[in-house]
């Protein structure tokens, strides 16, 4: 018995870690995959010689020679020289800016994050044939892995957010109930064994009140009784629907393992499994406005601290960059420049996408319900119009 108690206590202590272990494993797998990809691309792209450096220098030399010739011979005015340079700059190629010096470890980590998050700024990309092939292979594995992490972390954050909101909501309701009970003399009583009600202010009722009197005098009790009656009708309709759809008895409830330890029921007696009835009632319920507030609060937080490590991104551009990044739009018009802060941008992107996944998880039921309501409203409006036309 002592050994069994020790094992039970050990299992109870390790239970939280066992629940978190799958989530941590996925996150660690994504981190390890990022480090592996950064090391590979640093060797492939950073260790190769630039094949476009000579072409880029020749292009710059042509522009400089053209400006010097026109300036020395005084054959062109300043505006004409600017027009010639502008026409020449149209032949500029962005690939000329890709140099092996940009492929250090932090730059490679940032590039890997832009691959599996599908942001794709276009600031840094492979130019060698081997690098392009490895980029395709890396994306084919990294994008599904990132989706798994987002789904897992999003579900976990949605569960935590829903529990926290429900806990805060219940505490608020208890506080309101406690505050209401202090104001009502009916709640400031205690009941003796013989059914006598004794109030704090000295009043005594020798016999308990009749239920009809309570319903007549207490509006809130009458309201709750009607509410419970409606819930009872809904539950009976659900049972009737399931009895029509299901002909055979179901297995024991999977949500209560203790039932399997009970003795078997007598022959001809069936235990029905009602675990599916609570699926709709137990949906994650968080107000839509609170979800939007969390998303925009994270974007605003990123917009406030972004200029601290990227001074060239300031004003509204910082908030714009955070939104474009978190939503994986990634136009590439605003990109981080400091290689030392690439890892901060990468972490911000992954965490932001997880929060967006949580927001989608929490709001999908409300969005579907709103869509169904709109469809029913449109269908009802069309029916009314057809009835009006038929009356004419």
The pLDDT of residue 37: 94
Q: How many residues does the chain have?
A: 392
Whether 289 maps to a domain, the answer reads yes
52-56, 262-266, 297-301: which range is least confident on average? 262-266
Query: Domain of 345?
Result: 14-47+103-176+284-391
Q: 197-199 and 189-191 as β-strands: parallel, antiparallel, unpaired?
A: antiparallel
Domain count, the chain: 1
Q: Is residue 265 part of a domain?
A: no
Candidate from 115-119, 277-281, 316-320 with smallest mean pLDDT: 277-281
**Nearest-10 crossing angle of helices 2-44, 129-183:** 140
Asked if residue 324 is part of any domain, the answer here is yes
Query: Which range (171-185, 198-212, 356-370) has the least confidence?
Result: 198-212
Q: Are the C-beta atoms of 203 and 187 separated by less than 8 Å?
A: no
* 64 domain residue, yes or no: no
Instruction: Report H helices in the chain.
Output: 2-44, 53-72, 78-89, 105-116, 129-183, 211-217, 219-245, 288-309, 316-326, 342-391
Question: Which residues face 190 on adjacent strands?
Answer: 198
- Rounded distance between C-alpha atoms, residue 19 and residue 17, angstroms: 5
Q: Is there a domain that residue 345 lies in?
A: yes
- Mutual angle of helices 2-44 and 105-116, in 10-degree steps: 110
Q: How far, in whole angstroms, is CA 11 from its chain's centroid? A: 31
What phi, psi does 48 have (nearest 5°)?
-90, 160
pLDDT for 311: 86
Would you place residue 281 in the very low, low, confident or very high pLDDT band (cuts 50, 70, 90)?
A: very low
Residue 369 to residue 374: CA distance in whole angstroms: 9
Convert the pLDDT of each residue in 223-237 to its tens digit: 555 554 555 555 565
Cα 375 to the center of its chain, rounded Å? 27
Model confidence at 268, pLDDT cuts 50, 70, 90, reads: very low
pLDDT tops 60 at residue 323: yes
Mean residue pLDDT of the chain comes to 75
Mean pLDDT over residues 3-30, rounded?
74
Instruction: Give per-residue pLDDT as tens, 349-372.
Output: 999 999 998 888 888 777 777 787
Query: Residue 382's CB: how many other CB atoms inside 10 A?
Result: 10
What the block records as the tokens of 74 is 């005084």
pLDDT number for residue 335: 83
Determine the average pLDDT of the residues in 302-322: 89
Answer yes or no: is pLDDT of 277 > 70. Answer: no
Q: What is the CATH number of the domain that holds 303?
A: 1.10.287.70
pLDDT bucket at 206, cuts 50 / 70 / 90: very low
Which residues, at least 6 apart from 121, have a Cβ–Cβ distance to it below 8 Å? 114, 330, 332, 335
Stretch 81-110: mean pLDDT? 86
Q: What is the 8-class DSSP label of residue 94? A: G
Residues forming a β-bridge with 199? 189
Q: State phi, psi for 122 to the nearest 5 degrees.
A: 85, 5
300 domain-assigned: yes
Question: What does pTM read for this prediction?
Answer: 0.63
Residue 234 corresponds to which tokens in the numbers above? 């809904």
Q: Would the pLDDT of 104 be above 60?
A: yes
pLDDT at 302 over 80: yes
pLDDT at site 184: 58
Maximal C-alpha separation, the chain: 118
Q: Rounded to an integer, what distance in angstroms lies between the CA atom of residue 89 and that of residue 263?
A: 86
User: Alpha-carbon distance 81 to 89, whole Å?
Assistant: 12
For residue 213, name the pLDDT band (cuts at 50, 70, 90): low
Strands 204-205 and 197-199: antiparallel
**For 313-342, what is the mean pLDDT?**
85
Distance CA 64, CA 384 (A): 76
pLDDT computed for residue 11 by the predictor? 60
Model confidence at 274: pLDDT above 70 = no
Residue 325 lies in a domain: yes
Neighbouring CB atoms inside 10 A of 44's CB total 20
For the chain, give the percent of residues with pLDDT over 70.
Answer: 67
Q: Encode pLDDT of 113-137 as tens digits.
A: 999 998 887 788 898 899 999 999 9
Confirm if 152 and 23 have CB atoms less than 8 A apart. Answer: yes
- In this structure, is residue 71 part of a structural domain? no
* pLDDT band of 218, cuts 50, 70, 90: low
Residue 382: pLDDT over 70: no
Q: Residues of the chain with pLDDT > 90: what percent?
A: 17
- Residue 365 in contact with residue 283, Cβ under 8 Å? yes
């Amino acid at each position: 018995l002592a050994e069994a108690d020790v094992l039970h206590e050990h299992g109870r202590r390790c239970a939280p870690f066992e629940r978190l272990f799958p989530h941590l494993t996925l996150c660690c797998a994504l981190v390890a995959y990022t480090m592996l990809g950064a090391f590979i691309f640093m060797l492939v792209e950073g260790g190769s010689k630039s094949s476009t450096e000579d072409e880029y220098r020749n292009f710059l030399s042509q522009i400089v020679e053209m400006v010097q010739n026109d300036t020395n011979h005084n054959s062109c005015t300043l505006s004409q020289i600017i027009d010639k340079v502008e026409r020449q700059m149209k032949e500029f190629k962005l690939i000329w800016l890709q140099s092996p010096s940009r492929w250090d470890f932090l730059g490679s980590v940032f590039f890997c994050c832009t691959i599996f998050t599908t942001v794709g700024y276009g600031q840094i990309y492979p130019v060698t044939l081997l690098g392009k092939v490895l980029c395709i292979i890396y994306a084919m594995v990294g994008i599904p892995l990132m989706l798994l992490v987002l789904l897992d972390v999003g579900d976990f954050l949605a569960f935590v957010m829903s529990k926290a909101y429900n806990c805060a909501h219940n505490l608020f309701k208890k506080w309101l109930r406690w505050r209401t009970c202090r104001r009502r003399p009916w709640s400031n009583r205690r009941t003796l064994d013989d059914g006598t009600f004794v109030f704090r202010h000295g009043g005594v009722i020798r016999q308990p009140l009749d239920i009809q009197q309570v319903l007549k005098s207490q509006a809130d009790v009458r309201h709750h009784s009607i509410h419970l009656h409606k819930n009872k009708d809904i539950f009976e309709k659900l049972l009737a629907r399931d009895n029509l759809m299901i002909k055979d008895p179901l297995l024991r409830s999977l949500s209560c393992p203790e039932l399997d330890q009970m003795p078997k029921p007598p022959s001809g007696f069936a235990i029905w499994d009602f675990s599916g009835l609570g699926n709709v009632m137990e949906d994650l319920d968080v107000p839509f406005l609170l979800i939007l507030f969390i998303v925009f609060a994270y974007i605003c937080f990123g917009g406030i601290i972004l200029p601290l490590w990227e001074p060239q991104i300031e004003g509204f551009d910082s908030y714009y960059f955070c939104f474009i990044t978190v939503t994986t739009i990634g136009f590439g018009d605003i990109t981080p420049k400091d290689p030392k802060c690439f890892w901060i941008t990468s972490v911000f992107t992954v965490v932001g996408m997880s929060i967006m996944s949580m927001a989608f998880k929490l709001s999908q039921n409300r969005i579907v319900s709103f869509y169904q309501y709109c469809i029913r409203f449109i269908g009802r409006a069309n029916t009314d119009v057809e009835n009006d036309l038929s009356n004419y």
